A and B are shown apart, each in its own frame.
Chain A
Amino acid sequence: MSLPSIRPWTWLKITVGLTYVFMLAPILVTIVVSFNAGTRSVFPPEGWSLRWWYEAFSPEWQSAIYLTLGLSSTTAVLCTVVGLPLAFGLVRHRFPGRKLLILLVLGPLLLPTLATGIGLLQVFHWTGIFETVGFGSLLVGHVVISLPFAVRTISVSLLGLPANVEAAAASLGANRIQIFWQIILPLIRNGLVAGALFAFIHSFTDVNLSLFLSGPAAAPITVKILGFLEFGFAPTLAALSAISLIIPLLVVLAVQRTTRLGDFVYAPKQP
Chain B
Amino acid sequence: MLQSSLSVTGATGTGADAPALVLKGVGKSYGPHWAVRDLDIAVEQGEFVTLLGPSGCGKTTTLSIIAGFVEPDAGTILLRGKPLVGLPPFKRGIGVVFQDYALFPHMSVAQNVGYGLRARRIPRPEIDARVEQMLELVRLGGLGSRSPQALSGGQRQRVALARALVINPEFLLLDEPLSNLDLKLREEMRLEVVRLQRQLSVPTIFVTHDQSEALAMSNRIVVMNDGRVEQIGSPKDIYETPANRFVAQFIGSMNLISATVVEAVAAGATGLVQFADGSRVSIPFRTGSQAGRQVSVAVRPERCAVVRQTPKSDGTAALAATVTHLVYLGSKVEIHLELAAGGVAVVESVGGTVDDFEAGQRVAFLASPQDCTALPD
Contacts and interface: CB of A to CB of B under 8 A. Distances in A.
A62 B163 CA distance: 56
Interface in A178-218: 178, 182-183, 186-187
B102 A163 contact: yes
A171 B94 contact: yes
Given A162-B105, A172-B115, A167 B96 contact: yes
Nearest to A187: B106
Contacts of A172: 90, 95, 115-116, 119, 163-164, 167
B119 to A, nearest CB: 4
A171 B100 contact: no
B120 A168 contact: no
Contacts of A270: 105
A169 interface: yes
B98 interface: yes
A253 to B, nearest CB: 24
A241 to B, nearest CB: 40
Nearest to A270: B105
Contacts of B68: 170-171
Complex A-B, nearest 6 residue pairs according to Cβ-Cβ distance, in ascending order: A172-B116, A164-B102, A170-B89, A174-B119, A168-B102, A171-B96
Nearest to B106: A186
A165 interface: yes
A182 B149 CA distance: 19
Contacts of A171: 67-69, 89-90, 92, 94-96, 164
- Chain B interface size, as a band, is 20 to 34
B119 A164 contact: no
B90 A183 contact: no
20 contacts: A164-B98, A165-B102, A167-B98, A168-B96, A168-B103, A168-B163, A169-B119, A170-B88, A171-B92, A172-B116, A172-B167, A173-B90, A173-B93, A173-B119, A173-B167, A174-B90, A175-B88, A178-B119, A187-B105, A271-B105
Interface string A136-169: 0000000000000000000000000011110111
B104 interface: yes
Given A164-B98, A164-B100, A174-B90, A169 B106 contact: no
B90 A165 contact: no
Nearest to A166: B102
Interface residues of A, number: 20
B69 A169 contact: no
Interface in B115-131: 115-116, 118-120
A168 B98 contact: yes
Nearest to A185: B106
B116 A173 contact: yes
A167 B95 CA distance: 11
Interface string B30-45: 0000000000000000
B228 to A, nearest CB: 25
Contacts of B167: 172-173
Contacts of B106: 186-187, 271
B120 A173 contact: yes
Nearest to A271: B105
Contacts of B88: 170, 175
Contacts of A187: 104-106
Contacts of A165: 102-105
Given A164-B102, A187-B106, A270-B105, A169 B115 contact: yes
A43 B163 CA distance: 67
Contacts of A170: 68-69, 88-90
A255 B19 CA distance: 56
Nearest to A172: B116
Nearest to A173: B119
A164 B96 CA distance: 10
Given A163-B100, A165-B105, A170-B68, 15 more contacts: A162-B100, A162-B105, A163-B102, A167-B64, A168-B98, A169-B104, A169-B119, A170-B88, A171-B69, A171-B95, A171-B164, A172-B116, A172-B164, A173-B90, A174-B116
A163, A174, A271: which has the most chain B beta carbons within 10 Å? A174
A260 to B, nearest CB: 13
A168 B116 CA distance: 9
A170 B95 CA distance: 10
Given A165-B104, A187-B105, A175 B98 contact: no
A164, A173, A182: which has the most chain B beta carbons within 10 Å? A173
Interface string B139-181: 0000000000100000000000001100100000000000000
A186 B108 CA distance: 13
A271 B107 CA distance: 11
A182 B116 CA distance: 12
Contact of B102 (A167, A178, A186): A167
Contacts of B115: 169, 172, 174, 182
A181 to B, nearest CB: 11
